[in-house]
Chains A and B, each alone.
Chain A
Amino acid sequence: MDFWRRFASNRGGVIGLVLLVIIVAVAATAPLLFPNNPWKMVSRPFLPPFENMKFILGTDTVGRDVAAGLAHGARVSLLVGLVSTVAALLIGIPMGALAGYFGGRVDDALMRITEFFQTVPSFALAIVIVAIFQPSVVSITLAIGIVSWPPVARLVRGEVMSLRKREYVEAAILQGLSAPSIILRQVLPNAISPIIVMASLMVASAILLESSLSFLGLGDPNLMSWGYMIGAARTVIRQAWWLSFFPGVAIVLTVLALNLIGESLNDALNPRLSRRRS
């Protein structure tokens, strides 16, 4: 339990973890807490928060329950964040591993592709992809995955390049192990900690990206998400502050939680690199 001790030594990480557990719990129990569809118009429009305890966070422009929207939106945000990160890892890790392991022309070719994606502003590219394929949860997840894999590829490439020169890898090569088996069994397992740290931060930025897309009206029109709630509320921000405030807080807390966890993971997984421990 050395890992946990080191993780817990960073108080921020613990706070982040607690926050994330709460958010995940809300998301998981949303259908129980708010059995109504979050799009259902349940009360009069523009009901301020804390006035009617049945709708504690108030209602929006057409009388939908803000609290229900937040809970159901958490599902969308977390789901898109996780799945798109997995998608980015699935593209980035093989690219980086192959480039780092084989070097030479393979490296050149793969890194030029990576650089191509890195030079295009990622948010603009995401907008274009979503607009082409019509906004839906699949196209949004895909778009976020496609724009966020290059840093993964570069990170993995760097790790693999340095691991490639280690004696145990050379020994494996001398033993006649095949390249795929060396990459999968010898190299990648040793590069996993920085990838985990990066992935936790990527989930956070994916959630932000999804919210930004929804804010711009490029969200899945059939799913309630935090970004959509803020986007729909911005036109009435003077009449109804609570419509953009609560989803905004939800996004801030989730992203903060993931960042704290990421930092703490970094401490726990790379104790020698940690800034906090002497």
Chain B
Amino acid sequence: MNRIIAAVVASFLACAPAIADPVAGGRANVVIQPEPPSLMLGLVQNAPTQQIAGNIYEGLLRYDAKLEAMPSLAKSWEVSDDGLTYTFHLEEGVKWHDGAAFSADDVVFTADVFLRQQHPRFRAILEHVASITAPDANTVVFTLKAPFGPFLNAFEVGSMPIVPKHIYEGTDFQNNPANNTPIGTGPFKFGEWQKGSFIKLVKNPDYWDEGKPYLDEIYWHVIPDAASRAVAYETGQVDILPAGSVETFDIPRLAALDNTCMTEAGWEFFAPQSWVWINTRQGPAANKEFRQAIMYALDREFIKDALFNGLGKISNGPFAASTKFNDTDIAPYPYDPAKAKELVKASGYNGEVLKLVPMPYGETWMRLGEVIKQNLEDVGIKVEIVSTDVAGWNQKLSDWDYDLSTTYLFQYGDPALGVSRTYVSTNIAKGSPWNNVEGYANPEVDALFAEGAGTIDPAKRQAVYSEVQKILVDDVPNAWLLDLGMPTIMRCSVKDLITTGIGLNDGFKNAYIEK
């Protein structure tokens, strides 16, 4: 008898590693860089906020790596034949983290009131929407003014995080005390935030998607120094290094460690592109030739190899190469200092000092600022670096108090969602570092972007977007640098973390850690 039991146990043990079922429990330790200014995703949408708060809040839809829609808060949806009516059927029995019931009213409030006021990117989408209604508690209907090609791509959590109506209605959104303890419907609840140390999310036991999430808690560690972040991974303090959390020259060394997996997946939706913001309103940069000179002066091959460890691709224009409507016929500006000097002279530049405010996202980005300054000084443009912290940098961009700055922004799967916002003149407004900060206004570009967005046929859209790319590449409203490569480094025992086109940002719903 004993022998039989032993045999059964032995066979069971032998089988155990082969079972690939997710394991419940455990804690994920993740690096967050830099510390986000807030976790209220409806108000703040910079990268670290999206990375954490995407697990607290949810959108109506999720997207796979090919950017096809998947259910989330909406379990199913229909699009009318004329492309004007989008009907979403919501999950039933969904509860906010404070226990209140979630309903279609929350969705209508979020889209029509909250995000219309607070979310510049979503506001641009709302331009196409005629009405948002809730015929019953579990149905939401968006009616469009005219067909809008990428509309079904607009419901990801960072684009449209559903916020609780019962907490925000009638309050001053920016100063609502609940912003410090965000309440969403997502798989994880806000636990604790020790400023400068860590942000803790805990499992939402009442999560509507039965059985998920698997992890008990997630710690996002704030470690302000890149070398310390690399050490934290090596010593086992953290298990997941999101893209951008270690310096690029450390990546090959870390990727070669035992039990370490690296992937560039999970960024298909964002397709981040970096560029130099040029304040086209004032000074020498108001001149097109001067801006072209900047483009020729930047040694982007060097920037890619020396600063980004060869990851990424030199941008040929405002559309990231991995996005659908990038015109591959457009050649990137070559590195040509001689030509840049000529153009600087032709532009009538007479020695004004340009203020460069580098994006303070760590050493690589600071070095990038220094390299840009040097590249520009080599062709006779005087540059002064102004260093500041993340909040100060956001502030300066929002107030247009800069001449040059660096950034990288996401393209959100479609030029009408992620590209046009940077270049159309209707999106010039103080108060946001993510809109048309450079102040570029060109009626032709506005018209083309509008046409591209209103067209459904991909071939026609391509023609329109090719034209807009040619105009922008000639005008250089911003100096494009690289389409960034974004490697995530983690222990191989962390499974199913990256299952969508936005990767980590909503990945912890499915993630588990193999014992």
Contacts and interface: CB of A to CB of B under 8 A. Distances in A.
A217 B387 contact: yes
Interface in A224-278: 232, 234-239
Contacts of B226: 235
Interface in A8-44: 37, 39-41
B113 interface: no
Interface in A187-209: none
A134 B386 contact: yes
B247 A221 contact: no
Nearest to B362: A235
B373 interface: yes
Interface string A131-167: 0001100000000000000000000000000000000
B367 interface: yes
B306 A221 contact: no
Contacts of B369: 221
A63 interface: yes
Interface of A: 37, 39-41, 45, 61-63, 134-135, 217-218, 221-222, 232, 234-239
Chain B at the A interface: mostly helix, strand, loop or mixed?
helix
Contacts of B225: 234-235
B363 interface: yes
Nearest to A46: B249
Nearest to B302: A41
A247 to B, nearest CB: 16
Contacts of B385: 221-222
Contacts of B377: 37, 39
Given A217-B387, A235-B225, A237-B227, A39 B373 contact: yes
Interface string B376-395: 01100000111110000000
Given A41-B374, A232-B367, A134 B306 contact: no
Contacts of B60: none
Interface of B: 225-227, 247, 249-250, 253, 302, 306-307, 363, 366-367, 369-371, 373-374, 377-378, 384-388
A80 to B, nearest CB: 17
Given A235-B227, A236-B249, A45 B387 contact: no
A234 B227 CA distance: 7
Given A134-B388, A221-B385, 15 more contacts: A37-B374, A37-B377, A39-B373, A39-B374, A61-B249, A61-B306, A62-B306, A63-B306, A217-B366, A221-B369, A221-B387, A222-B384, A235-B225, A235-B363, A237-B227
**A-B CB proximity, top 8 nearest:** A221-B385, A235-B227, A221-B387, A235-B226, A45-B306, A235-B363, A39-B374, A235-B247
14 contacts: A39-B374, A61-B249, A61-B363, A61-B367, A63-B306, A134-B387, A135-B387, A221-B370, A222-B385, A235-B226, A235-B227, A235-B250, A236-B249, A239-B249
A23 B230 CA distance: 36
A236 B388 CA distance: 23
Contacts of B374: 37, 39-41
A164 B3 CA distance: 102
B367 A62 contact: yes
Contact of B247 (A218, A222, A236): A236
A96 to B, nearest CB: 35
Nearest to A135: B387
Nearest to B374: A39
A234 to B, nearest CB: 6
A52 to B, nearest CB: 17
